[in-house]
């Protein structure tokens, strides 16, 4: 098989390309990287010395593709399927890229800050940084609640790159800082969880949820409640 994805099933950034691959039933070989295992970590570093996942290796084209957004751009360009993750329409394309950046910068990163702070030794934690990260999430929720009031997907009617990034970002953000009564955003998260590609990612990640370092573990429960 030409494509290999290096990833970990619990790692939020890795869910982005997994969703993209499942959307288009693109064949690939999954390689789970365990950074705690010296052999697995060394093998991964030989592919990508930064040792950050996800990373896609395309043997057929001789390319190593890092960064979750770029992996999706690459798949859309060289292994396109029925779901065009980067829309053909230039106006929809910049919107997809803008919301992808928004989800990564203002949801994923603050969520990651809150989670990784818990992995630090207790006397080296960063309470102010965590407080700022929570404030950032709440600010992003407020904007997205307005944005999603009239939209099905992040850019409108079509599922795109921006939804691949929203899914893990919102799912984990909701675990560390619940969406609360934000109806449009909760309904959007429910739609994402109902999407077959993301439902598969969640089902495959579920056995690892107990490894999540916060007391409140991720759960596959509807954010808005009911049938949505
Ligand atoms: N900007 C990168 C972020 C990748 C990233 O932070 N990956 C995390 C997992 S979600 C990782 O590799 N963590 C392992 C580590 O930092 O040692 C992307 O979009 O791919």
Q: Is residue 97 situated within a structural domain? A: yes
Q: Is residue 53 situated within a structural domain? A: no
CA distances from 95 to 77, 87, 91, 160, 163 (A): 18, 9, 6, 10, 11
- Residue from 6, 7, 13, 50 to probe ligand 1 pocket by mutation (most atoms less than 8 Å from CB): 13
Distance 165 CA to ligand 1 centre (A): 13
Residue 67 CA: nearest ligand 1 atom is 20
Q: Beta-carbon neighbour count of residue 119 at 10 Å?
A: 8
Residue 11 CA: nearest ligand 1 atom is 10
Kind of pairing between the strands at 3-7 and 29-32: parallel
Q: Is residue 3 situated within a structural domain? A: no
Q: Is residue 142 situated within a structural domain? A: yes
CA-proximal residue: ligand 1, atom 2 (nearest) = 67
Distance 228 CA to ligand 1 centre (A): 32
- Structure pTM? 0.96
pLDDT reported for residue 134: 98
pLDDT tens-place values along the chain, 228 residues long: 699 999 999 999 999 999 999 999 999 999 999 999 999 999 999 999 999 999 999 999 999 999 999 999 999 999 999 999 999 999 999 999 999 999 999 999 999 999 999 999 999 999 999 999 999 999 999 999 999 999 999 999 999 999 999 999 999 999 999 999 999 999 999 999 999 999 999 999 999 999 999 999 999 988 886 544
**How many Cα atoms occupy the beta-carbon half-sphere of 117 within 13 Å?**
17
Q: Is residue 109 situated within a structural domain? A: yes
The CATH number of whichever domain residue 190 belongs to comes to 1.20.1050.10
pLDDT reported for residue 228: 40
Residue 54 CA: nearest ligand 1 atom is 20
Whether 164 contacts 85, CB under 8 Å: yes
Q: Is residue 59 situated within a structural domain? A: no
The domain of 149 spans: 90-196
* DSSP output for 7-39: E-TT-HHHHHHHHHHHHTT---EEEE--TTSHH
Domain count, the chain: 1
Q: Is residue 58 situated within a structural domain? A: no
pLDDT reported for residue 223: 87
- Residue from 16, 44, 52 to probe ligand 1 pocket by mutation (most atoms less than 8 Å from CB): 52
CA distances from 201 to 84, 180, 194 (A): 19, 24, 11
pLDDT reported for residue 222: 85
Q: Which residues line ligand 1 (CB under 6 A)?
A: 11-14, 35, 52-54, 67-69
Distance 50 CA to ligand 1 centre (A): 9
Which parts of 28-160 fold into alpha helices (H)? 38-47, 68-78, 90-103, 109-117, 127-147
Q: Is residue 77 situated within a structural domain? A: no
């Amino acid at each position: 098989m030409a494509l290999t994805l290096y990833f970990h099933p619990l790692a939020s950034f890795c869910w982005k390309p997994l969703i993209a691959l499942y959307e288009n039933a693109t064949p690939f070989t999954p390689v789970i990287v365990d950074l705690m295992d010296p052999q697995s970590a060394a093998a991964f570093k030989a592919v990508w010395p930064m040792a950050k996942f996800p990373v896609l290796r395309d043997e057929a084209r001789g390319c190593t593709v890092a960064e979750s957004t770029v992996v999706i751009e690459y798949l859309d360009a060289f292994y396109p399927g029925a779901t065009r993750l980067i829309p053909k329409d230039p106006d929809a394309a910049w919107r997809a890229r803008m919301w992808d950046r928004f989800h990564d910068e203002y949801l994923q990163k603050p969520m990651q800050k809150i989670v990784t702070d818990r992995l630090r030794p207790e006397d080296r934690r960063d309470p102010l940084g965590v407080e700022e990260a929570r404030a950032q999430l709440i600010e992003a929720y407020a904007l997205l609640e307005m944005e999603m009031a009239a939209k099905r997907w992040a850019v409108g009617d079509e599922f795109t790159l921006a939804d691949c990034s929203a899914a893990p970002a919102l799912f984990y953000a909701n675990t560390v800082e619940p969406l609360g009564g934000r109806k449009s955003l909760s309904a959007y998260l429910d739609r994402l969880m109902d999407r077959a590609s993301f439902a598969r990612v969640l089902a495959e990640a579920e056995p690892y949820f107990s490894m999540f370092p916060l007391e409140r573990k991720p759960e596959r429960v509807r954010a808005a409640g009911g049938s949505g």
